[in-house]
Amino acid sequence: MPQLFLNEKSCETTADPDRVNHAMTEMVEAVLAVAAVDRQGTALITQADSLLALQLAPGHPIGRWMGAPGTDEVLRLRLKRLDDRSPYRTVFPEGETFSDVGYQYDGETVEGLGYAHLLGGVGISLPLEDRWNTDRITLVQERLTDDEDTDSVSTEVEVRHAAHARHVDTHLKWIERGANTARQKAVEGLRSGTELWERCPELFPLLQFTSDAERHFAVLPEVWVRPVGERLGELQDAVSDWDPERHPIAPQWRSDVRTEFEMRRKLCWFPDTDGESRLFDWHCEFLPKPGRMHFRLLHEERTLRVAYVGRKLGNK
């Protein structure tokens, strides 16, 4: 679960309003790049009592960015929908204060970056200074000890970091592993197709579904719930890094995915989201046989749309 800890020191730089707003937009793009991989697990934690109380720079509250004419409306809305667990202490393990450890960078105490290291998260900074323009930051950790000969021990540690969306690229595999583990645990706990359908938006945010797909999920036998969830996860992973220019036919699939034989394509027409009947002849199998899932590719949107899940079409 990629908890993103805002580096409070990056919010102490005095700059003109336009520059602060531009830096905030770049940082939000980085945050949303993480959320695109693991929307369910991504949380933004700041030093303020809440995100809406955050000061981006001295005399520059976050509301000035949100209301600025140049702020992208989609970015603003997506940020507001993101899980906000501020301030830092709200994500500490119960009973833990971390009073025995501190972190410094450039000789300054950095709480947010320190908690990112302690809790296995990512440090996030406003790119108003060159020193925050990096995907990793080395901190000095000082920890109190019970040793009679020394009061504390200092160690250099490295923390994952991002201030631009491009920095997130170096952490994608790590984020994906965490998302896949959480997703797998969630799928293993489901017992009905209806439960799976209700969790689809959070577990598989990049995939699309037709309206009629819901009724197919509703009648899934329990034995097929987990296998269907696993196949959806593989499809999600495949489209997450799909570049139609490099792979114009289809993504690089994680399991056996193919189009239906010509003689069977007449069975693969389903109502699309606009009510028009379209061919959904791409499909994958799931065990126990004869389970099938049918979908069609949306090249312009770099994703796919599922229309059917259930028994192999034509099998009674």
Q: Within 13 Å, how many C-alpha atoms sit on residue 161's CB side?
A: 22
* Residue the block writes with tokens 């046989």: 289
User: What pLDDT sits at residue 149?
Assistant: 61
Cα 218 to Cα 49, 203, 215, 309: the distances in Å are: 42, 17, 5, 10
User: What pLDDT sits at residue 165?
Assistant: 95
Tens of each residue's pLDDT in the chain, 316 residues = 689 999 999 999 999 999 999 999 999 999 999 988 887 778 899 999 988 899 999 999 999 999 999 999 989 988 988 877 889 999 888 888 888 899 999 999 999 999 999 888 999 999 999 999 999 999 999 988 766 666 788 889 999 999 999 999 999 888 887 887 888 888 989 999 999 999 999 889 889 999 999 999 999 999 999 999 989 998 988 888 788 888 999 998 988 899 999 999 999 999 999 999 999 999 999 888 899 999 999 999 999 999 999 999 987 6
132 within 8 A of 23, measured Cβ to Cβ: no
User: What pLDDT sits at residue 264?
Assistant: 93
218: its two tokens: 């509703």
Distance separating alpha carbons of residues 248 and 152, to the nearest angstrom: 58
Beta bridge partners of 295: 282, 306
DSSP run (H or E) holding 6: strand 3-6
230 within 8 A of 294, measured Cβ to Cβ: no
User: What pLDDT sits at residue 173?
Assistant: 84
The residues, any chain, with a CB within 8 Å of residue 46's CB and separated by 6 or more, are 6, 8, 54, 84, 86, 87, 88, 112
Phi-psi region of 145 (alpha: psi -120 to 50; beta: other; left: phi over 0): beta
How does strand 83-84 pair with strand 43-45? parallel
Distance separating alpha carbons of residues 51 and 46, to the nearest angstrom: 7
DSSP run (H or E) holding 81: helix 73-81
